[in-house]
Amino acid sequence: MEKNRVFEDTYRNYLTEIGNIDYLAKADLLGVERDGDRLIVPFYDRRYLVSAAGIFPVDGGETTTAIRVILSRYVLHCQNVVEMHEDPYKTFRDFSNSSPLISYFTTNTNKTLEQTFAGKLALLVKACRELGGLEQENTSYDCSMLFHALPRIPVVLNFNDKDDMFPASCSILYRASAEDFLDMECLAMTGTLLSGRLIRA
C-alpha cells in the first residue's frame, strides 16, 4: 500500500512537470506519434495517450500507476538527441547507476524466468510471441527474442533451457542508450513487467 501511494505521488508530480515543458516537441526524439495535445506511446504490446492531463490506455482499459510512472519518465528524462543506432547491448548490471537495484532486477527477471520456464521452452516461446516478441537468429541460445518496451528501448531476452549438465539460464539485455531515456528504477521495472507478463501469458 505504501509503495502504491509513493508511485501515485510520483506520477502526479511527473504530470506537473510534463505540463511545464513542450512535451509534444519530443515526439520524434521519443519515436512516438502525436494526437492533438497528446503523445501516443507504445509500451510493449499496448499503446497509451500521454499528456499533462494524465496517462491512459488507448483501448480505454485499466493500467497500473507503475506503468504511468515509466511512461512519464520516458517523456521527461531524455533532453537531447542521442546516437543509438549501433550502441551495444548490455546487461542491467553493466549500467553505471544500477548497483542498488541489481538484486531486485535479477531476482524478479532472470531467476524468476529460469525457475518458471525450465523444461518448458515451448511455453516460453509461445508467451514471447503473444507479447510481440520477435525471434532473433542467435545459435548461442535456445530462445532469443526482441521486444520493444518503448520505441527507443529495445529489450532482448536470451534463454537456454536446462539440460543434463546445466540449469536453465536467462539474461535480459538493453541498448546502452536506454539510460538516456529512463532512470535505473524505471528501466528495471521494464524488465520485471516483461517477466510478469510472460509468466501470466
- DSSP conformation letters of 103-156: HHHHHHTHHHHHHHHTT-HHHHHHHHHHTT-EE---TT-SEEEEEEEETTEEEE
- DSSP conformation letters of 31-91: T-EEETTEEEEEETTEEEEEETTEEEETTS----HHHHHHHHHHHHH--S----SSPPEEE
At residue 69, the pLDDT reads 97
Q: Phi and psi dihedrals of 122, rounded to 5?
A: -60, -35
Give the confidence band of 84 by pLDDT, cuts at 50, 70, 90.
Answer: low
62 contact partners, CB below 8 Å, separation of at least 6: none
Q: In 3-state terms, what secondary structure has residue 191?
A: helix
Domain boundaries, the chain: 2-77, 89-200
The cell numbers describing 129, all together, are: 510471441
14 within 8 A of 73, measured Cβ to Cβ: yes
* Mean local confidence (pLDDT), 103-119: 98
Architecture of domain 89-200: 2-Layer Sandwich (3.30)
Per-residue model confidence as pLDDT tens digits over 57-79: 999 989 999 999 999 999 999 87
Above 70 in pLDDT, residue 131? yes
The pTM of this model reads 0.93
